[in-house]
Amino acid sequence: DRNVQNRTISLVFAVEEGPRVYIERIEIRGNTRTRDWVIRREFDLAEGDAYNRVLIDRAERRLRNLGYFKDVKITTEPGTAPDRVILVVQVDDQPTGDFSISGGYSTSDGFIGEVAISEKNFLGRGQYVRLAGTLGQNTQGVDFSFTEPYFLDYRVAAGFDLYWKQTSATSYSPYDTSTAGGTLRVSLPLTDELTLGLRYSLYQKEISIDTSDYYYYGKISWALLEVNNDPALTSAVGYTLTYNMLDNNIDPTNGYLLELKQDLAGLGGDVDYIKTTFDSRFYFPVYGDVVLMLRGQAGNIASWGGQDLRILDNFFKGPDIVRGFAPNGIGPRDLASGIDGSDPDALGGTLYWGTTAEVQFPLTFLPKDLGMKGAVFADAGSLWDYQGQTTFPNIAGWQNNLVDCSALPGSSTKGMNNVCVADSDSIRSSVGVSLIWKSPFGPLRFDYAWALSKEAYDQTQAFRFSGGTRF
């Protein structure tokens, strides 16, 4: 029906509904290692149900995101009757175990590395197991994790973590640290994209200072002496809310991931705080295999219940928000601890933010099957707002010298104090290049960054690398 005056055309669609088709059976092919029921539980339909393309596409996407298979393809074959079809799930098992090595290097502290072995499809049952050991010039530790993704046959992941870590004094942290504890956790899918994780953590953390190295005042911050050899037990409940729209969880090229975390400490234990962090990642295909990644992150921690925030509960940041900076290299520092000419001690902060823009691209002058690609990046961020004490009572065995903070350039603390805080929310930034290689030993990544803007008391570290292998 055409209306010439109004320049419109009316269309009538005639729809003739065909016979309903049912799934006669679901046939799994190609799974030499993964159990059939691990694959079947990703379907929201069963044999005998009506054929539903939307639910089938959803199951295929879930199977791909498991990371158990090189390829997943779901097709249909004729059944024993005209209204019956056979759903064929063709998969190709791939190695799901990882043996990884990661580390970093700084001119002052040398090599720090971690060796971890993990299996995300343990015995073909879809369970995740990880055992990691950390060993370096100043760090050692071990942690163990186990996750059952379908607890009691419900789409609820449940698991636990156990860990112990000990670090020795370095130029970044002039004290020994010992931490031991564990976490119980469950994860509930609210929708296919939205997941709620709940957890309870219990751990003890203690620092100790070698008085033979730091006997004289001016070598160690009084904020650290206050908690020296004073173990604190933290009992905390928390949640993580994750919205995942990535096209691929392993190597994303399109989509985004949003994650909000909150922890409340003070249900028993010695520490009371509320900690909130947010992380977001966005991936955009630019042209061909060129991908743009944008990241934004932020965090805040605050005490409650009338208790002061312990220095060890503050955020300590470095290359995790701005590459090109050392661990603990960004944020508030105690200038009084550096009056002897050493680097001032990091005090940590209660607020931080970070942003990243990174472009990943293929190295076209190399064979594609070599698996190498490059990246250029720019990072910016900051850590600030130390809220701890600046004046402390006498501590046994230590001379309580007060310092005129007003005489120290950059100190935001004035007058006579034990701690002279340099604290700025100024932007720290860097640019850099990366080499990413899917090597026969597993993925390797090398980053080299140049700090563009920083405070005089910040510490930099240009080169970092990480890598591993798969079995």
- Burial letters for 355-390: b for 16+ Cβ neighbours within 10 Å, e otherwise? bbebebbeeeeeeeeebbbebebbbbbbbbbbbbbb
- Minimum mean pLDDT range among 347-351, 363-367, 396-400: 396-400
**Model confidence at 111: pLDDT above 70:** no
The domain spanning residue 59 has which CATH number?
A: 3.10.20.310
Mean local confidence (pLDDT), 13-37: 88
Q: Which of 306, 458, 282 is nearest to 382 (CA)?
A: 458
Please tell me which residue, 143 or 108, carries the higher pLDDT value: 143
Strand extents, DSSP E, 79-156: 84-93, 97-106, 110-122, 127-136, 139-148
Task: Print the domain residue range for 46.
Answer: 17-93
- Residues 28 and 63 reside in one and the same domain: yes
Q: Is residue 74 part of a domain?
A: yes
Q: Is residue 382 part of a domain?
A: yes
- Residues 299 and 191 reside in one and the same domain: yes
- Residues 182 and 135 reside in one and the same domain: yes
Q: Is residue 260 part of a domain?
A: yes
Please tell me which residue, 154 or 400, carries the higher pLDDT value: 154
What value, to the nearest 5°, has the Cα angle with vertex 315 and ends 243 and 320?
60
The domain spanning residue 385 has which CATH number?
A: 2.40.160.50
Q: Is residue 6 part of a domain?
A: no
Number of helices and strands (H, E) in the chain?
A: 3, 26
Mean local confidence (pLDDT), 197-226: 76
**Residue at which a domain ends, from 60, 77, 93:** 93
- Residues 107 and 88 reside in one and the same domain: no
Strand extents, DSSP E, 168-254: 176-189, 194-208, 232-244
- Residues 124 and 266 reside in one and the same domain: yes
Instruction: Take residue 381 and report the two structure tokens written for it.
Output: 């961020």
Beta-carbon-side half-sphere exposure of residue 191 (alpha carbons within 13 Å): 6
Mean local confidence (pLDDT), 372-377: 95
- Residues 226 and 375 reside in one and the same domain: yes
**Residue at which a domain ends, from 62, 78, 93:** 93
- Residues 108 and 80 reside in one and the same domain: no
**Model confidence at 470: pLDDT above 90:** no
In the chain, helix, strand, coil percent, each to 5? Answer: 10, 50, 40
- Residues 289 and 303 reside in one and the same domain: yes
* Residue carrying the six token digits 């791909």: 64
CA distance 301 to 315: 8
Q: Is residue 398 part of a domain?
A: yes
Q: Which residues contact 217 (CB under 8 A, 6 or more apart)?
A: 398, 399, 401
**Model confidence at 232: pLDDT above 50:** yes
- Residues 247 and 142 reside in one and the same domain: yes
Q: Is residue 8 part of a domain?
A: no
pLDDT 10s digits, 429-442: 999 999 998 876 66
Query: Residues 311, 334: contact at Cβ < 8 Å?
Result: no
Mean local confidence (pLDDT), 455-466: 88
**What average pLDDT does the structure give for the chain?**
87
**Residue at which a domain ends, from 93, 115, 135:** 93
What pLDDT shows up at residue 255?
A: 96
Number of domains in the chain: 2
Q: Is residue 233 part of a domain?
A: yes
What pLDDT shows up at residue 396?
A: 58
3-state SS assignment for residue 201: strand
CA distance 235 to 249: 32
Neighbours of 418 (CB within 10 A): 26
pLDDT 10s digits, 443-453: 778 899 999 99
Q: Which of 430, 285, 296, 297 is nearest to 360 (CA)?
A: 285
Q: Is residue 11 part of a domain?
A: no
- Residues 402 and 296 reside in one and the same domain: yes
Report residue 217's pLDDT band, with 50, 70 and 90 as the boundaries: very low
- Residues 362 and 416 reside in one and the same domain: yes
- Residues 103 and 80 reside in one and the same domain: no
